[in-house]
Chain A
Amino acid sequence: NAGVTQTPKFRVLKTGQSMTLLCAQDMNHEYMYWYRQDPGMGLRLIHYSVGEGTTAKGEVPDGYNVSRLKKQNFLLGLESAAPSQTSVYFCASSYDSISYEQYFGPGTRLTVT
């Protein structure tokens, strides 16, 4: 049982390049989330999904797209990276809403130059 895994762990992009971050969970959770963590800002929700085939915008969705084609995977895409997207990205999943804890992956550190 690996929990929540994220690939890659580190990445450096040039402005304008694209990339996809992969999140996978093996706990059969319905809900999955992408957050970004910036110094002094806490974690902010980018996009989330309440089940396979569904996605929705969070607090800071601009410049990102997501897909949930399989229940266990949640992909975060950057079509044209900008320096403002330099951050640490965390994926999380939960069985249900409200009182169930979210399980977090180890994070992806992305630098856009």
Chain B
Amino acid sequence: GNSVTQMEGPVTLSEEAFLTINCTYTATGYPSLFWYVQYPGEGLQLLLKATKADDKGSNKGFEATYRKETTSFHLEKGSVQVSDSAVYFCALSDLNQAGTALIFGKGTTLSVSS
């Protein structure tokens, strides 16, 4: 079945460091791919998305490119801030379900120190 695998955390970085969080997926068809972010005590918010191969999603300095050949959607940011500390979830839309729910990775905790 469809699944998402993302790197385990926690990831600990200093402010202004470069961030990469790896995400790979297994899916039939051509799902849409998403990165969601969860700040402490809050629900998930969409960070960025890509709907077809080679699309690049971007938001708030974060980027991810939909790579069909490597089935990957890695999240990157050139210079992280303390305010980026959160849990990041990679997800794909499950085309096998009528409601097209999301299948999530287990989440990667990012902690940025000043």
0/1 interface trace, chain B 51-89, chain A, CB 8 Å (1 if under): 100000000000000000000000000000000000001
How far is B97's CA from A31's CA once the two chains are assembled, in angstroms? 12
B72-114 contacts to A (CB < 8 Å):
89, 93, 95, 97-102, 104-107
Given that A41-B106, A42-B105, A99-B93 are known contacts, is A33 also in contact with B46, CB under 8 Å in the complex? no
Q: Which residue of A lies closest to B6 (CB)?
A: A42
Given that A42-B89, A43-B89 are known contacts, is A104 also in contact with B43, CB under 8 Å in the complex? yes
Taking a contact as CB atoms under 8 Å apart, the answer to whether A31 and B99 are in contact is: yes
Residues of B within 8 A of A48 (CB): 97, 99, 101
0/1 interface trace, chain A 51-91, chain B, CB 8 Å (1 if under): 00000101000000000000000000000000000000010
Residues of A within 8 A of B43 (CB): 4, 90, 104-107
Interface residues on A, range: 20 to 34
Taking a contact as CB atoms under 8 Å apart, the answer to whether A50 and B99 are in contact is: yes
Q: Which residue of B lies closest to A48 (CB)?
A: B99
Taking a contact as CB atoms under 8 Å apart, the answer to whether A42 and B99 are in contact is: no
Taking a contact as CB atoms under 8 Å apart, the answer to whether A90 and B95 are in contact is: no
Taking a contact as CB atoms under 8 Å apart, the answer to whether B46 and A101 are in contact is: yes
A102 close to chain B: CB less than 8 A: yes
How far is B89's CA from A98's CA once the two chains are assembled, in angstroms? 17
How far is B6's CA from A108's CA once the two chains are assembled, in angstroms? 25
Residues of B within 8 A of A98 (CB): 32, 51, 93, 95, 100
**Shortest Cβ gap from B52 to chain A (Å):** 9
Residues of A within 8 A of B105 (CB): 42
Taking a contact as CB atoms under 8 Å apart, the answer to whether B99 and A101 are in contact is: no
How far is B32's CA from A104's CA once the two chains are assembled, in angstroms? 18
A110 close to chain B: CB less than 8 A: no
How far is B94's CA from A94's CA once the two chains are assembled, in angstroms? 14
Q: A98-B100, A105-B43 are in contact. List 20 more A-B contacts (CB 8 A).
A: A33-B101, A42-B105, A42-B106, A42-B107, A43-B102, A43-B104, A45-B101, A50-B98, A50-B99, A56-B99, A90-B44, A97-B100, A98-B32, A98-B93, A99-B49, A99-B51, A101-B34, A103-B46, A104-B43, A106-B42
Nearest first, the 4 closest Cβ-Cβ pairs linking A and B are A97-B100, A104-B43, A42-B104, A48-B99
